[in-house]
């Protein structure tokens, strides 16, 4: 009996050891006053803490400055090769020690040189000069920055200057304020509208005026805190802001955006970002249910047509970010059109995957519109009549067989 029990226990242990184990990375403790991590495609928030707390963003302010410059290029209102001369205000800023700057000299520079320097070196003199080029004065440019922030849904952002400097150094009154949420929104907008920006932010250095300008992002390839897949974006440092960083990393077919605000040192902002990215890439995965323009067969039920079910086509890919090893989440189809006839290419419904997660403002649970793939005609009168008779017959049969109407033992109506 004892040997039989031991044999049973051995089999049980072997069986349970073969079962799949669901493991999740431990949620990290992030030493930053505010932070957020989001999926760049869906806007899903993967982790956050006090992400709606408005804080000085330092040079992360330049994300809006450089977005507006890039938009001017796209709109043909500005050329990359346009040459501009620094104003006296900019030259004074360029000569101020202790600030990130090229420094610019009293000569002409191209818009591209200034754009790259503002991103890579975080050059304040280059950012202010670009603001003057776009709007005439930095003050007018700040007005444009705030107007654009409102149209982007960045409701907790207020710009006071184009560089991100504290007021004492910017020579303009007021303090720039942004939330981690708003910064994440802006980063997503930038890389979606102008993906070529990552070609600039991922550069470790550039040369200007015979000097090599090093990228302030030390998580890039071959840098001190290099992280696989890091494409850069924007650092920020002032006395009021502390050490900040908004980063973009791409790995395993997923693009993650992180923002950390008011960390304690240059090393700390990158160390905390690494914690976020390690957790994000190890704990979540992207799932593409359907591609854009994909034909989905036999899911569209139509009454009154020759066939019972028809095909549909998606207008966008259905991509969701889910925890790794999570239970399967089947797609949910919802149809607004239920009866024939249906025009070819008509909008007939949606498909989505249920998700209880949190999304950035302006984003929602991913879904795709569905369109018919052919004209669906009304079935012939003969077919519809036959179906009506069959349905009527089924209803009578069901009614007769209901226990409340028939006493099956005595075979008579109660």
pLDDT tens digits, one per residue of 304-346 = 888 889 999 999 999 999 999 888 889 999 999 999 999 999 9
Specify whether the backbone of 206 is left (phi greater than 0), alpha (psi in -120 to 50) or beta: beta
pLDDT of amino acid 232:
97
Q: What angle do CA 6, 11, 14 make, to 5 degrees?
A: 125
Options 62, 218, 274, 275, the catalytic residue: 62
The CA-atom distances, in angstroms, between 271 and each of 36, 224, 409 are 15, 11, 78
Which one, of 115, 169, 174, 120, lies nearest residue 146 by Cα?
174
* pLDDT grade for 227, boundaries at 50, 70 and 90: very high
| Average pLDDT score over residue span 256-280 | 99
Task: Please tell me the predicted confidence (pLDDT) of residue 53.
Answer: 99
pLDDT of residue 412: 41
User: Which whole number is the average pLDDT over 26-35?
Assistant: 97
Cβ–Cβ under 8 Å, residues 86 and 109: yes
pLDDT value for 391? 59
Please, are residues 401 and 408 in contact by the beta-carbon 8 Å criterion? no
Q: What is the pTM of this model?
A: 0.86
User: Binning pLDDT at 50, 70 and 90, where does residue 6 land?
Assistant: very low
User: Where do the structural domains in the chain lie, given as residue ranges?
Assistant: 34-285, 291-372, 381-413
User: Using 50, 70 and 90 to split pLDDT, how confident is the model at 405?
Assistant: very low
For residue 392, the model assigns a pLDDT of 63
Average of per-residue pLDDT across 68-81 = 98
Q: At residue 383, does pLDDT exceed 80?
A: no
Listed in sequence order, the residues at least 6 apart from 91 whose beta carbon sits closer than 8 Å to its beta carbon are 104, 106, 125
Whole-angstrom distance, CA of residue 24 vs CA of residue 79: 49
Q: Which of the pair, 355 or 400, is modelled with greater confidence?
A: 355
What's the rounded mean pLDDT across residues 27-33? 98
**CA gap 129, 147 in Å, rounded:** 20
Is 324 a known active-site residue? no
Look at residue 411 and tell me whether its pLDDT is greater than 70. no
- 44 is an annotated ligand-binding site residue: no
Each residue's pLDDT tens digit, 344-357: 999 999 999 988 89
Tell whether the model's pLDDT for residue 21 goes beyond 50.
no
Question: Is 17's pLDDT higher than 60?
Answer: no
Q: How far apart are CA 181 and CA 8, in angstroms?
A: 56
386 confidence band (pLDDT: 50, 70, 90):
low
Would you state the pLDDT for residue 381? 60
pLDDT over 60 at 272, yes or no = yes
| Choice between 390 and 196, residue whose per-residue pLDDT is larger | 196
In this structure, which topology does domain 291-372 adopt according to CATH? Answer: Peptidoglycan synthesis regulatory factor (PBP3), Domain 2 (2.60.410)
3-state helix/strand/coil string of the chain: CHHHHHHHHHHHHHHHHCCCCCCCCCCCCCCCCEEEEEECCCCEEEEEECCCCCECCHHHHHHHHHHHHHHHHHCCCCCCCCEECCCHHHHHHHCCCCCCCCCCCCCCEEHHHHHHHHHHCCCHHHHHHHHHHHHCCHHHHHHHHHHHHHHCCCCCCECCCCCCCCHHHHCCCCCCEECHHHHHHHHHHHHHHCCCHHHHHCCCEEEECCEEEECCCCCCCCCCCCCCCEEEEEEEEECCCEEEEEEEEEECCEEEEEEEEEECCHHHHHHHHHHHHHHHHHHEEEEEEECCCCEEEEEEECECECCCEEEEEECCCEEEEEECCCCCCCCEEEECCCECCECCCCEEEEEECCCCCCECCCCCCCEEEEEECCCECECCHHHHHHHHHHHHHHHHHHHHHCCCCEECCCCEEC
Q: Residue 8's pLDDT is what?
A: 43
Q: Which of 3-17, 159-173, 396-410 has the highest mean pLDDT?
A: 159-173
Backbone torsions φ then ψ of 87, nearest 5 degrees: -75, 170
Better pLDDT: 171 or 408: 171
User: Are 372 and 344 contacting, i.e. CB atoms less than 8 angstroms apart?
Assistant: yes
pLDDT level of residue 171 (50, 70, 90 thresholds): confident
Q: Is 59 a catalytic residue?
A: yes
First-to-final CA distance of the chain: 60
The structural architecture, per CATH, of the domain 34-285 is 3-Layer(aba) Sandwich (3.40)
Q: What is the mean pLDDT of residues 277-285?
A: 97
> How much is the pLDDT for 10?
46
pLDDT tens readout for residues 94-133: 999 999 999 999 999 999 999 999 999 999 999 999 999 9
Choosing from 59, 163, 202, 368, the catalytic residue is 59
Over residues 354-374, the mean pLDDT reads 94
- The answer to whether the bond into 103 is cis (omega within 30° of 0) is yes
Residue 48: the pLDDT is 99
Please give the mean pLDDT across all residues of the chain.
90
Residue with the larger pLDDT of the pair 129 and 406: 129
Residue 205 has a pLDDT of: 97
Checking if the pLDDT of 11 tops 70, the result is: no
Write down the catalytic residue from 34, 44, 121, 122. Answer: 122
Q: What is the mean pLDDT of residues 240-258?
A: 98
The verdict on whether 122 is a catalytic residue reads yes
């Amino acid at each position: 009996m004892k040997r039989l029990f031991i044999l049973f226990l051995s089999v049980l242990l072997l069986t349970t050891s073969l079962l799949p184990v669901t493991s999740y990375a431990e949620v990290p403790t992030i030493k930053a006053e505010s932070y957020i991590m989001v999926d760049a495609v869906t806007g899903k928030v993967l982790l956050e803490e006090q992400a709606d707390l408005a804080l000085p963003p330092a040079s992360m302010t330049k994300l809006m400055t450089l977005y507006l410059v890039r938009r001017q290029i796209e709109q043909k209102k500005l050329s990359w090769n346009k040459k501009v001369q620094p104003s006296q205000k900019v030259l004074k800023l360029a000569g101020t020690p202790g600030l990130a700057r090229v420094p610019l000299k009293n000569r002409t520079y191209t818009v591209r040189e200034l754009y790259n320097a503002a991103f890579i070196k975080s050059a304040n003199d280059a950012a202010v000069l670009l603001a003057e080029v776009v709007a005439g004065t930095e003050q007018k440019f700040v007005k444009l920055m705030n107007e654009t922030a409102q149209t982007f849904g960045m409701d907790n952002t207020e710009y006071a200057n184009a560089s991100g400097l504290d007021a004492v150094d910017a020579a303009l009154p007021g303090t720039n304020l942004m939330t981690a949420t708003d910064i994440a929104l802006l980063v997503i907008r930038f890389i979606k509208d102008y993906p070529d920006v990552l070609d600039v932010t991922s550069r470790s250095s550039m040369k200007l005026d015979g000097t090599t300008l090093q990228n302030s992002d030390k998580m890039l390839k071959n840098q001190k805190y290099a992280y696989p897949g890091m494409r850069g974006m924007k650092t920020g440092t002032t006395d009021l802001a502390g050490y900040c960083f908004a980063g973009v990393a791409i790995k395993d077919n997923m693009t993650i955006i992180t923002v950390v605000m008011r960390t304690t040192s240059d090393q700390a902002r990158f160390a905390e970002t690494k914690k976020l990215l390690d957790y994000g890439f190890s704990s979540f995965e992207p799932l593409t249910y359907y591609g854009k323009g994909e034909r989905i067969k036999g899911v569209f039920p139509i009454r009154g047509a020759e066939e019972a079910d028809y095909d549909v086509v998606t207008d966008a890919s259905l991509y969701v970010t889910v925890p790794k090893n999570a239970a399967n989440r089947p797609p949910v189809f919802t149809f607004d059109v239920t009866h024939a006839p249906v025009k070819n290419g008509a909008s007939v419904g949606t498909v989505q995957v249920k998700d209880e997660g949190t999304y950035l403002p302006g984003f929602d649970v991913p879904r795709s519109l569905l369109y018919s793939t052919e004209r669906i005609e009304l079935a012939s009168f003969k077919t519809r009549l036959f179906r009506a008779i069959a349905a009527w017959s089924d209803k009578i049969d069901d009614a007769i067989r209901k226990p409340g109407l028939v006493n099956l033992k005595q075979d008579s109506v109660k």
